Amino acid sequence: MIGGLVVVLAGLLVAIGLTVTSRDTVDEGLTARQREVAEAARAEAVAFLTVDHTDMDPLIDAVLDGATGDFAQQYADQRATLERQARRSEATSVGEVVSLGVGDLDETTATVLVAANTSVTNRLTDGEAQTRYYRMQLDLVLEDGRWLTSNLEFVRDPR
């Protein structure tokens, strides 16, 4: 769905000197700017991974609210397909960010790596929740005082 270059996580981690937060920390040691970026990336990742086949509109709107540029356009263009696929498969998914790292950060751009899990049910799982694991890179830009996601890519595990 969202195309782009697949980045090898290990090389990226070394290259960008991450400041890492997890769900168990209160982001101690992060600057205010890093916290702003982390909060925006966390919200966008959770919105992107959340699915409810009974009412996709507010979920899609939540993703679009935190998106900009080509990413926002691509996601908006897929709205009907996303809704149709969720209904057809009777999918629900609840996203949770396990850990994230704020990488490159300047005045108007940031790169964030996110480790997230989802609890998924659909017709194929017979109502039984399955955990799925995702690693993503989000590129954010500062627009009108808000950090918005301009690109989201899934990152492949280097193993």
Alpha-carbon distance of 93 to 47, in angstroms, equals 10
pTM, full prediction: 0.81
For the structural domain made of 9-154, what CATH number should be given? 3.10.450.50
Q: Model confidence over 73-120: pLDDT tens digits?
A: 999 999 999 999 999 999 999 999 999 999 999 999 999 999 999 999
Alpha-carbon distance of 104 to 109, in angstroms, equals 8
Domain extents for the chain?
Answer: 9-154
Q: Model confidence over 7-41: pLDDT tens digits?
A: 323 233 333 334 444 444 445 677 999 999 999 99
